[in-house]
Amino acid sequence: MPTITDSIGRVLAGRYRIESALGSGASAHVFCAWDVTLRRRVAIKVLHPALAGDSAFLRRFQAEAQAAASLAHPYILAVHDWGEDDFGPFLVTELCGGGSLRDILDEGRRLSVAQALLVGSEAAEGLAYAHGRGFVHRDVKPANLLFGEDSRLRLADFGLARALAEAAWTEPVGTTLGTARYAAPEQAQGRQVDGRADVYSLALVLYEAVTGMVPFVADTTLATLMARVDARLPGHDALGPLAPVLDAATSGDPDQRLDASSFAARLRALGTEVPQTAPLPLAGPGGHKLPPAPSSRERAKADDLTELGLSTPAPAAADLAGDSAARGPKAEPARRRVAGFLGRTPVKIALVVLAALLLVGAAAYGVSASGLFVASHRLPAVTGDTETAARQALRRDHFTLAVAGHRSSVTVPTGDVIRETPVAGTVLKEGSTVKVVLSSGPPPVAVPSLSSVTGGCAQVASMLAAAQLRSACTQQNSTTVVSGAVIDWSPQGRAPLGSAVHVVVSSGPPIETIPSLTGSTCQGATTTLQAVSLKAQCQNTYSTTVPSGQVVSWSPTGQAPQGTTVVVQISQGPPPVPVPNLLGDTLQQALTALQNAGLQPGNISGRGSGRVVQTSPSTGTPVPPGSSVDMTLQ
C-alpha cells in the first residue's frame, strides 16, 4: 500500500480523486477526495493492509458499512459508499469541514459548560437514534465526534468498532489503551455491552472536554477499566452544573445509569439554564483547513478521467500532417519579410537584438519574482521529532520552521513536535514556512492535600495514584509530628500528570540508647537521661543488696524514642520486718524469736524468771532489720 503522502492524486474505483491527507489512525488512513461522478467533496477512509488481508473482517466490515449507511440522522455521519481496489478497501462518507473534538482539544482548547452541553446533547441524540435501531457504537471518543463547518456534530465510525473487535489482527501498541480511556467498567467485568456503555463513554468525553483530563486512567488497559468499577466520577470545579448529570451517566452499575435518551434530555434541559458562550472553536479536518474548492475550470479538469491518470489516445498522423501543411504556405512570406528587414542596416539589427535582450530580461525577472522557477518539495513528516531535528529536516528542503505554540501531551515528550502545518506530504515551494506545535509535557493536575494522612507512605501512594500522580515518599524523624503523618510534600497546588510528588512522612521521634544508671542516685539518673533527650521518673523500692538511695533498676532498657519517660527504681534498703509475738514467752524463747526475725533485744524489765507481758514496739509493728525491741517480764 502506498504511503499516505504518496497517495495524493490517486483515483479510487475510477471515481474518487484523492486531494489531501486528513490523518492516519490505528485502522485506516483518512483523505479528502473529489467525487467526479456527483461532483462533491467526500472523506475516504482507506483500511490498513493488515485488515485488507483478513477476509473474515472484510465481510464483517462490508456488512457493518451497509448497516451504518441505513442510519439517517442529522447527528450521525452519512456513509455514501464502500469499495475495494488495488489501493485497498475503503469507506466513503460525508466530509466534515470543522474537524473533530480531538482536534479542538489537541490545540489546547477546552469547552465551556454551555459548549459541552450543546455537543453532548447532539451526540446523545444521535446515540439514542442508533440504539433504537439496534446499534451500539462501542468506541465513542473525541476523534469520532466530528463537526461540519456549521458546527453541527456528527458521530462517526458506527459499525467499524464492532468489525475491528472481531478482526484477526493486532492493533499498534497503545491503541487499545487509548480506546480504554473512555470504556465503561462493565467491559472489564466481561458483562454484555449495550447502549449504556456508549453513554458512559460520552460522559467521560465531556468530562475531558471541560476539564482537560480523563478520569481513572492507569498504566494498563485492565488497570484503567478496573479503576472504574464501583467508582464515582471525581468532582472538578470546572464542571459546575454539569457535574451531577455526568455523575448519573457514569454509574458503575449500568442498570442505574442514564440511557442515551434520558442523557440527551437532561443535557438539553440544563442547556436552557446556562448562559450561552462563544461558538465552538472549530479546528478544521485533521486540525487543518480544507484546500479551496476547485474552480469550474478545475472541476472540469478533475472530472476528465484522462486527467486522472487514465490513458488518452495519441493525435492522429493526419492531424499532425494537416497542421504542418496548414502552417507551411503562410510561413514563407514572414521569413522573407524578416530577412528583408534584417538586411537593411546593422543599426537596425543592433536595435532588434537589444530589444530582444530587454524583453528576455524583463520576462526572466517577472518569472523569478513570481516564484515560478522556485523548486518545490513534499513536506517531510516531523511529528514526534525534537525541535532541533525538525529544523534540520526542514532545512534540507529549504523550509523554515516556526513554533506556533505549545500544548500539553501525555504521549509526546516535552519539546517534541505534536503537529505540523501544513500536513506532511503537502507540496511546498522552497522558502515556505512550516508551523509546528511543540509538546509542553503532560497537562497539570491538582495535587491533593496530604495533611490528613495518618497511614504513612502506603496511604500517600494510594491518594496520589487516584489523582494520576506518582509518589516519591521518604521517612524522617520528628518530635512534633506523629508517626505515619505527613510532614511536608512538594509540589503543592498543581503538577504535571504522571509526575512524582515528593512526600516526607514522619517516622516518629529519633531513637536513643538508654545509658546505664547503676550506682546513680535519683538526681544522677535524671541528669544522665536528660542528656540523651529522655525523662526520668524515680520510684522507691526495697533492696537487700543495693544500698539505700542508689538505683536498683530502670525500665525500659536498651533503646527508646526521644522524650520517653524511663522509670527508675531507687533502693530504700532492706524491707522492714514485723515485731514477732513474744507475749507469754520465757526470756530465752523471746531472745530466740527476736534473733530469728533479725531483731535485737532492747531494755528488759521485770522478773527474769517470768514471762513476757509487753513489748515495745508492739507485736506486728514493722521495723527496720536490726531494730531493738524492749520487753517487760512478769
Which amino acid is present at 253? D
CA-to-CA distance for 629 and 624, rounded, in angstroms? Answer: 11
CA-to-CA distance for 212 and 443, rounded, in angstroms? Answer: 8
Which own/partner contact pairs does 357-363 have at CB distance under 8 Å and 24+ positions apart? none
CA angle (437 as vertex; 432, 439 as ends), nearest 5: 150
Query: In the chain, what is the straight-line distance between the N-terminal and C-terminal CA atoms, in Å?
Result: 135
* Residue where one domain finishes, among candidates 506, 531, 548: 506
The answer to the question of residue 219 being in a domain is: no
CA-to-CA distance for 496 and 492, rounded, in angstroms? Answer: 11
Q: What are the cell numbers at 545? A: 543488696
CATH number of the structural domain spanning residue 516: 3.30.10.20
CA-to-CA distance for 531 and 509, rounded, in angstroms? Answer: 16
CA-to-CA distance for 201 and 182, rounded, in angstroms? Answer: 5
Out of 81, 139, 397, 585, which one is annotated catalytic? 139
* Residue where one domain finishes, among candidates 424, 439, 454: 439
pLDDT at 587 over 60: yes
Full DSSP string of 408-426: --SSSPTTBEEEEESPTT-
Predicted confidence (pLDDT) per residue in 89-140, tens digit: 899 999 998 999 999 999 889 999 999 999 999 999 999 999 999 899 988 9
Same domain, residue pair 564 and 594? no
* Residue where one domain finishes, among candidates 455, 477, 506: 506
Q: Is 252 in contact with 228 (CB distance < 8 Å)?
A: yes
The answer to the question of residue 51 being in a domain is: no
Question: Over the Cα atoms of the chain, what is R_g?
Answer: 47
Same domain, residue pair 556 and 603? no
> What's the average model confidence in pLDDT over 55-70?
80
In the prediction, which pLDDT does 608 show?
80
pLDDT band at 286 (very low <50, low <70, confident <90, very high): low
> What's the average model confidence in pLDDT over 548-558?
94
Its domain, for residue 562, covers 511-571
The answer to the question of residue 405 being in a domain is: yes
Q: Please list the residues that pair with 273 across neighbouring strands.
A: none
* pTM of the complete model: 0.49
Predicted confidence (pLDDT) per residue in 26-56, tens digit: 678 899 999 999 999 999 998 887 777 777 7
Residue entry with cell 458503575? 252
Q: 612-616 and 628-633 as β-strands: parallel, antiparallel, unpaired? A: antiparallel
The answer to the question of residue 435 being in a domain is: yes
CA-nearest of 67, 68, 47 to 57 is 47
Beginning with the edge strand found earlier in the chain, give each strand of the sheet holding 565-571 in spatial order.
535-541, 565-571, 551-555
Same domain, residue pair 412 and 452? no
> What's the average model confidence in pLDDT over 1-7?
61
How many structural domains are present in the chain?
A: 5
The answer to the question of residue 623 being in a domain is: yes
- List all residues 6 or more positions away from 481 whose beta carbon is below 8 Å from its beta carbon: 487, 506
Same domain, residue pair 384 and 433? yes
Same domain, residue pair 358 and 381? no
> Quick check: is 139 catalytic?
yes
Same domain, residue pair 400 and 435? yes
The answer to the question of residue 241 being in a domain is: no
Element (H, E) at 503: strand 500-506
Burial of 296 (0-12, 13-18, 19+ CB in 10 A): exposed
Look at the chain and count its residues. Answer: 634
The answer to the question of residue 287 being in a domain is: no
Same domain, residue pair 519 and 548? yes
Which amino acid is present at 137? H
The answer to the question of residue 385 being in a domain is: yes
